[in-house]
Structure formats: structure tokens, C-alpha cells
Structure 1
Amino acid sequence: MSKKILVILSEWGFWGEELVGPLEVLQSRNYKPVLCTPTGRRPRALPPSMDPGYKDPPLGKTVATPEMAEKVRRLDDPSNPYLANQRSLKAMLPERPYWSDLGELGYPDERGQMKMSYYPLRKWEGYCRARAQAQQALVEEFEALLLVGGSGPMIDLVNNYRVHDAILAFKQADKPIAAECYGVACLAKARNFDDPRSIIWGKHVTGHPQEYDYRDLAGVLDPETGAMLSREAGNPDRWVNFGPPFYTLEHILRDATGPEGGVHGSVGRPHSVIVDYPLITGRSTADSYTTGEKLVEVLEKGLRRYGW
């Protein structure tokens, strides 16, 4: 039986090769990638990631080969059922309550019976029990976690507490966690609510360096229609131009890794993948296949350190 890998994708657009590369590597080794999005919507590839003529502004070159662009187009085609078979993270993990929430909400008690409570502390106790059960179910079903990059994760993955709880589940179970490009920001943000330090504190990672950042036209897909939100798409009233990304990922990673950790952007080098177990991080699109390959090496050969 194929071992399962949980693959989390944004509903606001993922970069095509950053899914295709690891998928091909994992499937060639008889792993079964199981796709998951925050609410169960079908994920869509960002149009530039399937356009061989698209020139990445900060890199000054095209980043999708004609062969890769065709692979992404075939995968993204609405008639292809593969991307329609995703799971919902909302259905897999409980919602973190507000400390100030006085509304009635149900969570399991010590015996697993659902109880309604108006008291925030009772809700947190119930949430922690429900989370522990859900996290255990995740790590029993899946061998590893993969977070796919692109601009979409900035909206619905990076500060998503369910994503954080999924990451924490694999970390606590000492199972591999791989992330690419802006998916790496999810690792920086993931932490237990009673510990202010990120899970990457003291670790070595790579990620989108500031030299790779856009200054303008960072855009996403409308999850309802799958259309690019831009004037060019004929939606002047729905224009979304973030300009630069919401944040400089390199700065977040440097703060999150702390003085004993490190961020390796490897600017000027064609590839950058770092393994600091249980983390496998890939800098950008060109590192997609290597990220998948190193994940397999971690699973099959016990790789614990690579790239630094």
C-alpha cells in the first residue's frame, strides 16, 4: 500500500511547478500525495506559472519551460479530476477559539462527549482535546507534510491556525515537514499558543530572499471564479494589486530562526534546498524537484542535514 503524504495548497493560487515537481518525485517512489485546501475548494494554478513566456521581474528571465507549462495546464484543466479530489483542512482540525468568546460553542469533554459552554476556558480545554485527537489522526494517516508555495499562501495559509496545528502535529510526531517558497512562511508563524518562539527557532532554512521579491503586481486568483483579480481581467472593481508581497519573507525567517539558526537564500546560485530535520525547505520554483527528492531521502535514507 502506498504511503500517504499530506499536501496543503492555497485556494488563492499556487505556483504550478511547486506542486508538479514534488508530485512527480513522490509518485515515482510509490507515495500517494493527498491534496488538501483550507476549506475544501478546488485549488488552481497561478496563470503565470503555466505561461512559458512569462518573465519573472526580479529574476529577469522566464521560469516555466514549455514542457512544465504544459504539465501545469493539463493538471489545472477543469476537466482533470485530480485537483477536485482535495480534502478540507477545516474538516480535519478544530477551530481555535477566541479567549474572549462568550458565545455558546461545543467541544468534547474528558469522556469525548460534546458539551456546550459559554466559558472561554472550557472551550480552550475542549479545543486542546479535539486538536490532540485530530493531530493524532493526521500523523497516523500521513508520513509527511508538504506546503506548496506561490502568492496564494500569503492570504489563506501563513496565518491559518489550522495549518499551524497541522505543522505542529508532524513536528511533535517527529515526522518530516517540507515547504516551498512562500509556504516556508507557514513554518515561521507556526508555534504553540503558550510559546512565543517559532518552531524554526534555532533551525536552518531557505526561502524567498529579498532579492527575489516583487516590487509590484504580486497577485492572486479569485477562489470563487478562478480568475486573476486584475484590471487586465476586466475587473476594475475587483482589482487586487498587492504591489510588493505583504512581507519580506527573508526578514520574517531571520527573526523566526533566532541567533542560533540561519537563513540560506543562496542568491546567485541556481538552487537552494535545506534539510534541518524535520524540516525540508525549498527557496523557489527551481527547487521544486529537489525539495521532493530530499523529502524522499529523509523518509527512506534517514537524511537529517543537507545544504548548509
Structure 2
Amino acid sequence: MPRKNAVRVLVVLSEYGYWGEELVGPLAAFDARGYESVFVTPTGKQPRALPPSMDPGYIDPPLGRSVTTQEVAERTRVLDESDRLTNPLNLQAWMPERPYTSDPDYLRRLERYHRAVATVAEELEQYDALLIVGGSGPLVDLANNERLHELILAFVRAEKPVAAECYGVAALAFARDWEDRRSILWGKRVTGHCKEYDYKDGTGFLGTDFVMGPPPYPLEYILRDAAGPDGAFVGNFGKETSVIVDFPFITGRSTPDSFLTGEKIVEVLEDGLRRFGW
């Protein structure tokens, strides 16, 4: 595909609810620079912000305070009610699904799968960076989404920036080449939701009545294991912000890190930043 002059960022959003600030923060940095943000969801449905992320009165249980300012709540509401997110790309229709080994004619199917993945990788040449937005929704439809894993791997192989926030970072931990099954985060510094900041109860997902206790996995432990002995999980517990750049990855711990995450993505793209926060 022909390359456009403007920087283009592919932004991945859950269909089960994203946290408002974790989208509007990076978008503020992208919009200020004139970047083009292209949105994609697992099945092409319009993403929606989680209601608590538009409520300045909502008290985050682990922190014991509001994590949403009136300004950010309003920005999120305006974006959520606009038509900017109404027609996201459909990842399911775009990226093929790896066949089961039990499928008939498995070898031919696998060959077609790899050809299709290579085609998508060529189409991704028009994008300069990838961002995975956080919230509780990614626990459901992004973390173990193999189509998203292939998307992430394509950006990594092309040596392009890959950013993720909050529970969106889990998708990086699980993205791995099928030949060695090692996480792409192996040997890297990465941040994400600390165990101390996890909910003990009340984790909810947009579009469902399902509310569970703590998240189904402690992200900190997964990231520690994914980084391995030569990498590290950098939680920065007790510090107001935590953003780590260990190229090609830019990771933001949680909501308060959203604007800084966007700023660091810009610095990676424009200033050649390769390391920050450790």
C-alpha cells in the first residue's frame, strides 16, 4: 500500500470496555502532532469507555481516591459520543486464524495461514506504531487473542514501536513466536499493574452483567515471568507514574501514566528515544 506522509498509529481497543484516560491521554499527544490514529477492535464493534472512567466521583478501591479528573471525564465522554470510534477495523476479518492441528488438510491450511499473515504484515507497512489501550476489557478479548499476537509480532519484526497500557500489557507477555514459545518481553524492562493496585472485588466488563472478584491473573507475576532473569518488571509502586521505554516497547502501568505514555511514544518516533524510566 502507498505510504502516507502523516505518522499513523494503529490503536487496539477492547470491545468489553476501555479506560477513558488510557485512550484520550495518548490521543492528546498524537493529535497535537497531527498523527493519524486508526482504530481496530477484535470483531469490528465500536469500542466504548468504561462508565467509571467517565465519573470523577468514582473512588478507585486500591488507591482510595478518584483517578479521573473532571477534564478527562469530559474528554472521554465527548470522544465516546462522537463518531470517531464508530467504524474501527475488524481484526477478525483482517488477521487470519491459525488452524487446529486436527483440522482436515492441516498442512495446506497452515501454509495458507502463513501466506495470509505475510500479506497483513505488508499492509502494516503504512503504520508507524502500535498502541494497545488498557482497562478491564483487555482481560477478556485482547490478552489471549492470537490474532492480536500476530499483529504485535509483525510490528516487532519490523522494528516499530509497540506500546501498551495497564492490562493491555498482558497481550505483549503472551505474544510469542510458535517456534520457541518465548515471550517477546524476554530480557526486557516492562511495567504494568502492580499487585498492590489490583482490585480485590468488583472487576466488571462492559456489555455484560458479569462482575468478578480480582482479575483472573496477577499481571505483575505474568510480566515478571515473561521478562525472565535478564529482564525485569518495574512496578514503581508508591510512585505517581510508571512508564518504561525499552525499545521497541513502551509500557504504561495504569491510568495516571496515560498522557506520559503518549508523550514517550512521540519521543520514540521523532527523537529516537530507546530507553526511559529505568
- TM-score w.r.t. the length of structure 1 is 0.88
- 1:199 match: secondary structure: coil
- 2:84 match: secondary structure: helix
In the alignment, which residue of structure 1 is the partner of 2:268? Answer: 298
- 2:171 match: secondary structure: helix
Q: Distance in 1 between matches of 2:62 and 2:254?
A: 12
- 2:40 match: secondary structure: strand
2:238 is aligned, of 223, 248, 268, to 268
In the alignment, which residue of structure 1 is the partner of 2:39? Answer: 35
In the alignment, which residue of structure 2 is the partner of 1:136? Answer: 122
Which moves more between the two structures, 83-92 or 285-294? Answer: 83-92
The alignment status of 1:98 with 2:100, answered yes or no, reads: yes
How far 1:121 sits from its partner (Å)?
A: 1.4
The one-letter code sitting in structure 1 at the alignment partner of 2:277 is G
List alignment gaps of at least 5 residues for structure 1: 103-118, 223-228, 230-238
Q: Is the 2:245–2:251 contact (alpha carbons within 8 Å) kept by the matching residues of 1?
A: yes
Note the alpha carbon deviations across 1:206-256, whole angstroms, 9 max, x for none: 00000000000100111xxxxxx3xxxxxxxxx312211010000000010
In the alignment, which residue of structure 2 is the partner of 1:81? Answer: 83
Runs of 4+ residues over 6 Å off in structure 1: none
Note the alpha carbon deviations across 1:126-166, whole angstroms, 9 max, x for none: 1011111111211x110000000000001000100110000
In the alignment, which residue of structure 2 is the partner of 1:105? Answer: none
2:197 is aligned, of 212, 227, 233, to 212
The one-letter code sitting in structure 2 at the alignment partner of 1:302 is G
Q: Is the 1:6–1:142 contact (alpha carbons within 8 Å) kept by the matching residues of 2?
A: yes
Q: Is the 2:7–2:127 contact (alpha carbons within 8 Å) kept by the matching residues of 1?
A: yes
Q: Is the 1:164–1:189 contact (alpha carbons within 8 Å) kept by the matching residues of 2?
A: yes
Q: Distance in 2 between matches of 1:242 and 1:136?
A: 40
- 2:46 match: secondary structure: coil
Q: Distance in 1 between matches of 2:83 and 2:214?
A: 34
- 2:85 match: secondary structure: helix
In the alignment, which residue of structure 1 is the partner of 2:167? Answer: 182
In the alignment, which residue of structure 2 is the partner of 1:127? Answer: 113
In the alignment, which residue of structure 1 is the partner of 2:30? Answer: 26
The alignment status of 1:53 with 2:57, answered yes or no, reads: yes
Note the alpha carbon deviations across 1:39-67, whole angstroms, 9 max, x for none: 10000000000000000000111000011
Q: Distance in 1 between matches of 2:272 and 2:239?
A: 26
2:75 is aligned, of 71, 76, 83, to 71
- TM-score w.r.t. the length of structure 2 is 0.97
1:286 is aligned, of 256, 261, 269, to 256
- 1:303 match: secondary structure: coil
In the alignment, which residue of structure 2 is the partner of 1:157? Answer: 142
Q: Distance in 1 between matches of 2:87 and 2:116?
A: 25
How far 1:91 sits from its partner (Å)?
A: 2.3
Root-mean-square deviation (CA, aligned residues, Å) is 0.8
Q: Is the 1:148–1:180 contact (alpha carbons within 8 Å) kept by the matching residues of 2?
A: yes
- 1:121 match: secondary structure: helix
1:233-244 superposed matches below 5 A: 239-244=209-214
Q: Is the 2:45–2:87 contact (alpha carbons within 8 Å) kept by the matching residues of 1?
A: no
- 2:250 match: secondary structure: strand
1:107-118 superposed matches below 5 A: none
Note the alpha carbon deviations across 1:277-306, whole angstroms, 9 max, x for none: 000000000000110100000000100000
Percent sequence identity is 60
- 1:184 match: secondary structure: helix
How far 1:270 sits from its partner (Å)?
A: 0.3
Q: Distance in 2 between matches of 1:246 and 1:2?
A: 39
Note the alpha carbon deviations across 1:181-221, whole angstroms, 9 max, x for none: 00000000000112221000010000000000000010011
Q: Is the 1:93–1:135 contact (alpha carbons within 8 Å) kept by the matching residues of 2?
A: no
